C-alpha cells in the first residue's frame, strides 16, 4: 500500500488501524475539515472494523505532529482538523458551524509589521466569520 512507506518514513509503524485512518483521510481528491467524532463516524461507515476512540485520538495527534494534519484555531466544543496542510485560511459559518477554505490568493499577502523579540512567525491564519 502507498501509506506504508509514508508512515515508516515518519517513524510510525504502519499498523492496520493507521492504514485505515490514512485511507479515510488521504484517499480523497478534495481535502476536508473534520472533528474526531466525524472521523470516527467516517471510519465506521467505510469499514466494518471498529477502531478504538483512543487510537483515533492518538493517530490524529501523531499525524498532526508529523505535519500530515493541521488543527484549525476556532472556538468550538470540539477540535477541528484539516487535511489541507497548505498555507490557507478559513471562512467560518457561524449559523451552521461549517468551515470553508479560503485560499491564500483570496486573501492577498499579509504583512505583519510588528516584531516580537526572540520569536519567529510560525504561521499566519485568518478566520473570517460569516453571518446571514
Partner DNA sequence: CACCAATTTAGAACCATTATAAAGTAGAGT
Partner DNA sequence: ACTCTACTTTATAATGGTTCTAAATTGGTG
CB of 46 to a second copy, least distance (A): 27
Interface residues for a second copy in 63-92 (CB under 8 A)?
71-75, 79, 91
DSSP string, 23-47: HHHHSSSS--EE-HHHHHHHHHHH-
Query: What number of chain residues touch Mn ion (CB under 5 A)?
Result: 1
- Tell me if 59 sits within 8 A of 21, measured CB to CB: yes
Cell of 90: 478559513
- Tell me if 119 sits within 8 A of 82, measured CB to CB: no
83 binds, among DNA, Mn ion, Zn ion, none (CB under 5 to 8 A by kind): none
> What count of other Cβ atoms lies within 10 Å of the Cβ of residue 41?
12
CB of 28 to a second copy, least distance (A): 22
Tell me, residue by residue from 51 to 90, as one string, x for binding to DNA by CB under 7 A and - for no binding. Answer: xxxxx-xxx-x---------------xxx-----------
- Report the SS3 class of residue 85: coil
Q: Which is nearer to a second copy, 16 or 132 (CB)?
A: 132
| Residue 64, Cβ density class (10 Å: 0-12 exposed, 13-18 middle, ≥19 buried) | middle
| 94 scored as a contact of a second copy (CB under 8 A) | yes
| 41 scored as a contact of DNA (CB under 7 A) | no
Cell of 80: 477541528
> Which residues contact DNA (rule: CB under 7 A)?
8, 11-18, 35-37, 50-55, 57-59, 61, 77-79
> Which residues contact Mn ion (rule: CB under 5 A)?
61
Amino acid at each position: 500500500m502507498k501509506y506504508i512507506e509514508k508512515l515508516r518514513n515518519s517513524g510510525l509503524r504502519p499498523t492496520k488501524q493507521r492504514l485505515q485512518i490514512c485511507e479515510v483521510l488521504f484517499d480523497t481528491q478534495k481535502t476536508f475539515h473534520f472533528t474526531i467524532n466525524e472521523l470516527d463516524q467516517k471510519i465506521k461507515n467505510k469499514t466494518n472494523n471498529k477502531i478504538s476512540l483512543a487510537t483515533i485520538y492518538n493517530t490524529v495527534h501523531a499525524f498532526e505532529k508529523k505535519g500530515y494534519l493541521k488543527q484549525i484555531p476556532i472556538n468550538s466544543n470540539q477540535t477541528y482538523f484539516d487535511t489541507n496542510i497548505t498555507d490557507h485560511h478559513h471562512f467560518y459559518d457561524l449559523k451552521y458551524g461549517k468551515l470553508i477554505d479560503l485560499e491564500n490568493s483570496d486573501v492577498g499577502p499579509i504583512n505583519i509589521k510588528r516584531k516580537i523579540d526572540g520569536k519567529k512567525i510560525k504561521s499566519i491564519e485568518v478566520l473570517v466569520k460569516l453571518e446571514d
